[in-house]
Amino acid sequence: MKQLLDGFPKDFFWGGATAANQCEGAYQEGGKGLCLADILKVQDKGDLKKKSNKETTMKDIEFALQDKEGYYPKRYGIDFYHTYKEDLKMLAETGMNSFRISINWARIYPNGDDEQPNEEGLQFYDDLIDEIRKNGMEPLVTLSHYEMPLHLATEYNGWYHRKTIDFFVKYCETVMRRYKEKVKYWIVVNQINLIHHESFNHLGIPADRVENLWEAKYQGIHHECTASAIVTKIGHEINPDFQIGMMVYDGLSEPATCKPEDVSANRKRNQMEYFFSDLLMRGEYPGYALRFFKDHDIHLDIREEDEKVLKENTADFFSLSYYYSSICSAESYAKVGVNEDGALPNPNLKANAWGWAVDPEGLRTVLNYYYDRYQKPIIIAENGYGSFDEISEDGKIHDDYRIDYLSTHVAAVKEAIKDGVDVIGYYPWGPIDIISCSSSEMSKRYGFIYVDQDDYGQGSKKRIRKDSFYWYQKVVASNGEEL
């Protein structure tokens, strides 16, 4: 009889997660081309709860390319491109045994449709991956994390165009062959279901270049999922030991009330949250999705060869980001559309300044949901608490609020493992402060290491260990027993 674990397995991955576009900088160095994130301006005004990278038009792109006054933080990051050796050495002091990075597609193929890859970009990631391994960490590499070459958006309408499948597969095959002896764990696309809050940043579809943006997004998703399956096939041919996973942001909700109409609305909403992982983990279009497309007059070009490759090349593991939970009512679900996902904040939960509710029990719950559904290993590829951090008079950063958030979530993961969920890794987001994805702010911080830099890149860039740094040391050293 199978024996349940009573805690974290001995070979558990205690990691940290980053993205190239949010930390590297050096946007004009090493032969790199412009990527989608390079045209995102810092959002320093407005409601914190409404900041996101939803839609972008060709006019917006042209403005950003010509703008000489605005500040575009992801072009500069925290200068990780030049400081990665020192940063990784400091991060390794926590004892973490794995580190998640992304490869900036525009460093390898600057325009996306180039004939030959950029050797200087390939060499940079050779050096970075070597340094990760040198510091005793297993690399977890994301192939697409909001770094599509901008040229593919302006010339081909991003993932909406079928040619992008070929461009992406070529890029992925290039890096998988290059690093086949150095990298075992791969995530093909970061948060592939994030089509409401990170629409252009994810899919690269200029909103004014398509007639039906809602339909274009789902066509883009089909192309992206088809490409993911092809990459999974090729990756396993390159190295049968590769573990190639898919990733979502956890968008599951609970019914706002026990009224039948709220329960039904929540079921329908959650089904379309599961849709992306159902397609990549199970390998076929589910009936509920086909009905959703019919009800919303969405018509997709789904070809027989696409269905075949999807069915034959499902993901090896499931991964997710988890930050907060939400609820859904019949009324909120009725608003689901191009830029609305039908989610509501839970009034029973406390939230951070950006409105992200703190719900560790929700993490245990969704881990059970996903494992019940797929029965494949799970990696928590992101989890963290964004906050305004301040340097105290003693020169330190006392972030008890972050420790409280992370400790309760790690405890929830432990309980999920006791439930029988096969969780193999936990990666706190931004273990060193990096640029925020949604708002391009620096002031929304997640790290164990403080970077002395403001929203406009001003500051000493000095790295300072926060109290949470020493907390994570104890967690890793005790394999999750000391929280």
pLDDT-derived band at 92, boundaries 50, 70, 90:
very high
Task: Give the model confidence (pLDDT) of 373-413 as tens digits.
Answer: 999 999 999 999 999 999 999 999 999 999 999 999 999 99
Asked if residue 387 lies in contact with residue 445, where contact means CB atoms within 8 angstroms, the answer is yes
Residue 187: strand, helix, or coil: strand
**Could you tell me how far CA 319 lies from the centroid of its own chain?**
10
pLDDT average, residue stretch 95-107 = 98
CA-closest candidate to residue 385, choices 414, 407, 415: 407
pLDDT at 126: 98
Distance CA 381, CA 139 (A): 12
Residue 168: per-residue pLDDT: 98
Q: How many Cβ atoms sit within 10 Å of the Cβ of residue 69?
A: 4
Query: Where are the domains positioned within the chain?
Result: 13-477
pLDDT at residue 315 is higher than 80: yes
Residue 47's pLDDT is: 62
Please state the CATH superfamily assignment of the domain spanning residues 13-477 in this structure. Answer: Glycosidases (3.20.20.80)
Residue 225 token pair: 């999922």
What is the C-alpha R_g of the chain?
21
pLDDT in tens, 138-176: 999 999 999 999 999 999 999 999 999 999 999 999 999
Strands (E), 352-448: 378-383, 423-428
Q: How far apart are CA 246 and CA 311, in angstroms?
A: 14
Please, are residues 428 and 383 in contact by the beta-carbon 8 Å criterion? Answer: yes
CA–CA separation, 255 and 344 (whole Å): 10
Give Dmax (Cα) for the chain: 66
Helices of type H across 67-117: 80-92, 105-108
Q: Which two tokens stand for residue 342?
A: 């039908």
Q: Give this prediction's pTM.
A: 0.97
Segment 311-319 mean pLDDT: 98
- Identity at 403, one-letter amino acid code: I
- 3-state class (DSSP) for residue 185: strand
Please report, for residues 173, 306, 411, the alpha-carbon distance to residue 60 in angstroms, rounded to integers and kept in the order given: 32, 33, 44
Joined tokens for residue 291: 């009905």
Token pair in block for residue 230 = 């092809």
